[in-house]
Structure 1
Amino acid sequence: MTIAFFSCHPYEQPFLEAANANHRHQLTFLPQLLTPETVHLAASHDAICVFVNDQLTGPTLQRLASEGIRLVALRCTGYNQVDIPTARQLGIRILRVPTYSPHSVAEHAVALLMALNRKTHLAYQRTRKNNFTLDGLMGFDLYGKRVGVIGTGKIGMMFSRIMLGFGCHVLAYDKVRSAILQQLGVEYLPMEDVLASSDIISLHCPLTPETHHLINEASLAQMKPGAYLINTSRGGLMDARAVVEALKSGQLGALGMDVYELEDDFFFADWSGQELPDAELNTLTHLPNVLVTSHQFFFTAEAMEQIAHTTLNNLTYLEQQRLPDDCLVVG
């Protein structure tokens, strides 16, 4: 099978090539983002593979179909960027990576929390200038704090277990409760109670119409004043404007985010020396109590290896008609 990989960075290629060793597909690596204007690059290929910021909109899918492309592999878990009705109508199969190293995401959420709490990002900037004062760097003990976890799937479960290891009291909200977490002492509560009781909130739920802007002016007002918010899930879970206002007023004590609702225009690109045209993102990257990373929660060697292997396996398994059900989004 000939496969065109869009939005493919040099650091991905060794993992994909290694995973392809036993499959022997023909891989074409393209740095371009998939858009209606770049679809022509997929010509003469049997399938394409895309990443999180490649938008499989109706027009893009229409042009893919006109190029004879009927198979799209996502090298990511989420598929909110896919126009599913149009894909189904055009007969385009969409595959995904249903899971990969939940440790990578959960550990990155913890890294953001620890850096914000102990001000290590600020201390690093100071000591590089030979400033070894401690003013403004005080944090707090995580031990005994209430940590609210919104969404307790594989990643939320892993984050919860880490927080339990710190000696935190973990509160959780999810439509489906984990018996394992309950046995470990996690307390499930209604969403409003989790927000009102937690010193720290970490988001680990998918982006759906129901969860879009889950964190908004109303839910921020329900939180404990000065609470910390961590988002390593999906940018669309937060209303950025409301979050900025809550940070400025002190209602929100700190924010750690690895995702942003409009990240497609900025993440994975170098904007050094330029002011971001997005007012909210520009503000967030300059507030001292905010730590922004650019969608790197998946970026460990273990996760990259798993993503590459699952992606190539999906394409081969589909040919052999033995694709796991949870890998198929549209088909």
Structure 2
Amino acid sequence: VLGVLKTSPHIRIIGGMPILKDLATVAFCDAQSTQQIHEKVLNEAVGAMRYHTITLTREDLEKFKALSVIVRIGSGYDNVDIKAAGELGIAVCNIPSAAVEETSDSTICHILNLYRRNTWLYQALREGTLVQIVEQIREVASGAARIRGETLGLIGFGCTGQAVAVRAKAFGFSRSLGVQRVYTLQDLLYQSDCVSLHCNLSEHNHHLINDFTIKQMRQGAFLVNAARGGLVDEKALAQALKEGRIRGAALDVHESEPFSFAQGPLKDAPNLICTPHTAWYSEQASLEMREPAATEIRRAITGRIPESLRNCVNKEFFVITAPWSVIDQQAIHPELNGATYRYPPGIVGVAGRTSCCHGKGCLPVLDTANTGLKTVQAPVWRILPHLNCVLSGQVGCEFSKTL
């Protein structure tokens, strides 16, 4: 948690950055709940930087007496009550392009692991299984499959979804540049051999993957989730794995974290790979996430809230009449740039040239590589208002982009 006292600048922060040192004193607070935060911070903190490990409800937010901005060091903000924050005059921001390369790399690793079963092959050898003749190979590697020609469905197509699509194409998930339009989640689930989730969690998509939607999937499909644990009903997933309706699943995020196999519905589920919410992590990503987060705090301190903020996610709820909505400073400090994003929103290098489209609601079309003509065979970025579904596969790739 980061706090800036309005009288004598002082900061309490997780992952503090030098970007803020000329504005306030930086210190660290390793709190996992507001009950662990010192009363002085609750009374005087003006800003907060936080990871995904702490939840802030309305009751938690009301404990802060001077808080004006919260910056999530990462992209997901489902564990902050953004509506309550806005009504209390607290702006909530995120870093939408955080850890794109790491998360997309981890997603591809999970997909490859499910198809080639490396985790289970390793476990078999550790357990003493001897593999020499073809019959033994066939037995221990049962379920391993070829990737080329398979159809990958991506639910959510922001920076990470786009990066996964680029990587997946290299492994043969797409054999042509034809367009397969997906208008509903049901279409995507029915046509995909592997489904991967890349969307934020909200009240509208909680348990998006549940018993009903699992039954819409192809028999024996794979499921990968490196987005948010609440997107998947783990009880329904466990049952589907036991029945073989889902051939295998790889989860980096879970409904209850920290995750443990000792309890919960997944404890005895077969063909399951779990990692402890680490798909985003590398030393480089950790630094690149903290820098723009600290820069956003700097904008709040030196500018106006929420007008000066670049990635405020709750402007629609924000109360501009809050007494601390503008932080008065005697001197305006020059803004420091945050880390650059290798995959900025709206940029995908898949094929051909990108046609220009400036109006909302339009459909940008990627030209084919061998002609300058826009054809129905060329990949399309399609606006899918609610589910933001993407299908890349045997008949081609479709890219949807939420405005």
| TM-score of the aligned structures, taking structure 1 as reference length | 0.80
**What SS is found at the alignment partner of 2:157?**
coil
* 2:267 matches 1:282: yes
Q: CA deviation at 1:152?
A: 1.6
Q: CA deviation at 1:74?
A: 1.5
Give CA-to-partner distance per residue, 1:93-121, whole Å, 9 cap, x none: 32222222322111111111112222211
Q: CA deviation at 1:48?
A: 2.4
Structure 1: give runs of 5+ residues left out of the alignment.
171-182
AA partner of residue 105 (structure 2): E
From 236, 241, 247, the equivalent of 1:242 is 236
**What SS is found at the alignment partner of 1:169?**
coil
For residue 42 of structure 1, what is the aligned residue in structure 2? 41
**What SS is found at the alignment partner of 1:255?**
strand
Q: CA deviation at 1:230?
A: 0.4
From 283, 286, 294, the equivalent of 1:304 is 286
For residue 201 of structure 1, what is the aligned residue in structure 2? 195
**What SS is found at the alignment partner of 1:88?**
helix
AA partner of residue 11 (structure 2): I
Query: Relative to 1, partners in 2 of residues 1:40 and 1:127: Cα closer, same or farther, differing over 3 Å?
Result: farther
For residue 134 of structure 2, what is the aligned residue in structure 1? none
Query: Relative to 1, partners in 2 of residues 1:164 and 1:56: Cα closer, same or farther, differing over 3 Å?
Result: same
Query: Relative to 1, partners in 2 of residues 1:38 and 1:92: Cα closer, same or farther, differing over 3 Å?
Result: same
Alpha-carbon separation, structure 2, partners of 1:137 and 1:41:
59
AA partner of residue 29 (structure 1): F
Query: Relative to 1, partners in 2 of residues 1:324 and 1:132: Cα closer, same or farther, differing over 3 Å?
Result: farther
Per mean C-alpha deviation after superposition, the further-off stretch among 308-317 and 37-46 is 37-46
Structure number with larger C-alpha Rg: 2
Q: Is the 8 A contact 1:228 1:252 kept in 2?
A: yes
Q: What's the % identity of the aligned pairs?
A: 25
From 196, 209, 218, the equivalent of 1:215 is 209
AA partner of residue 57 (structure 2): T
**What SS is found at the alignment partner of 2:54?**
coil
Alpha-carbon separation, structure 2, partners of 1:39 and 1:104:
34
**What SS is found at the alignment partner of 2:110?**
helix
- Specify which structure has the bigger relative contact order, considering alpha-carbon pairs within 8 angstroms and separated by 6 or more residues: 2
CA RMSD in angstroms comes to 2.6
Q: CA deviation at 1:25?
A: 4.1
Q: Is the 8 A contact 2:223 2:248 kept in 1?
A: yes
From 163, 168, 171, the equivalent of 1:166 is 171
* 2:169 matches 1:187: no
Per mean C-alpha deviation after superposition, the further-off stretch among 83-92 and 32-41 is 32-41
| Structure with the higher fraction of residues in helix conformation | 1
From 221, 235, 243, the equivalent of 1:227 is 221
Query: Relative to 1, partners in 2 of residues 1:316 and 1:236: Cα closer, same or farther, differing over 3 Å?
Result: same
Structure 2: give runs of 5+ residues left out of the alignment.
5-9, 132-136, 319-403
Q: CA deviation at 1:185?
A: 4.5
Q: CA deviation at 1:132?
A: 4.5
Q: CA deviation at 1:329?
A: 3.6
For residue 87 of structure 1, what is the aligned residue in structure 2? 85
Q: Is the 8 A contact 1:97 1:327 kept in 2?
A: no
Q: CA deviation at 1:169?
A: 3.3
Alpha-carbon separation, structure 2, partners of 1:56 and 1:83:
6
Q: CA deviation at 1:53?
A: 2.6
Give CA-to-partner distance per residue, 1:207-266, whole Å, 9 cap, x none: 122211111111111111110000111111111111111001000110001111222xx2
Query: Relative to 1, partners in 2 of residues 1:208 and 1:28: Cα closer, same or farther, differing over 3 Å?
Result: same
Alpha-carbon separation, structure 1, partners of 2:251 and 2:212:
20
AA partner of residue 169 (structure 1): S
Per mean C-alpha deviation after superposition, the further-off stretch among 252-261 and 201-210 is 201-210
AA partner of residue 302 (structure 2): Q
| TM-score of the aligned structures, taking structure 2 as reference length | 0.67
Q: CA deviation at 1:298?
A: 1.0
AA partner of residue 155 (structure 1): T
Q: Is the 8 A contact 1:197 1:223 kept in 2?
A: yes
Where has structure 1 moved over 6 Å in runs of 4 or more? Answer: none
For residue 55 of structure 1, what is the aligned residue in structure 2? 55
Give CA-to-partner distance per residue, 1:123-175, whole Å, 9 cap, x none: 223434554524332411111111111122211111112111111139xxxxx
* 2:292 matches 1:321: no
Alpha-carbon separation, structure 1, partners of 2:87 and 2:209:
34
* Matched pairs, number: 296
Query: Relative to 1, partners in 2 of residues 1:154 and 1:24: Cα closer, same or farther, differing over 3 Å?
Result: same
Query: Relative to 1, partners in 2 of residues 1:127 and 1:26: Cα closer, same or farther, differing over 3 Å?
Result: farther
